[in-house]
């Protein structure tokens, strides 16, 4: 399991990156990308995204 990031919605603000307690998120080509093996489904990143690009 891991969150899903809608790349067409993501505006590359990087707000989600620092919200992740296990550093599962990184920026790749100005879009957030989740490492599915690292994500623990805590949901912390979801509420930080200003455009609701992250879903469970």
Count of residues near ligand SF4 by CB under 6 A: 28
Q: Tell me: does residue 11 bind ligand SF4 (CB under 6 A).
A: yes
Annotate 9-38 with DSSP letters as a single string: T-----HHHHH-TT--EEEETTEEEE-TTT
Please say which residue, 29 or 45, places its beta carbon nearer to ligand SF4: 45
Closest separation in Å from C-beta 28 to ligand SF4: 10
- Retrieve residue 30's tokens: 């100005």
Residues at the contact surface with ligand SF4, assessed by CB under 6 A? 3, 5, 10-16, 19-20, 22, 24-25, 32, 34, 39-45, 48-49, 51, 53-54
């Amino acid at each position: 399991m891991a969150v899903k990031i809608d790349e067409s919605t993501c505006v590359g603000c990087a707000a989600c990156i620092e919200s992740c307690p296990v550093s599962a998120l990184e920026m790749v080509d100005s879009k957030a990308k989740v490492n599915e093996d690292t994500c623990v489904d805590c949901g912390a990143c979801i509420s930080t995204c200003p455009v609701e690009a992250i879903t469970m």
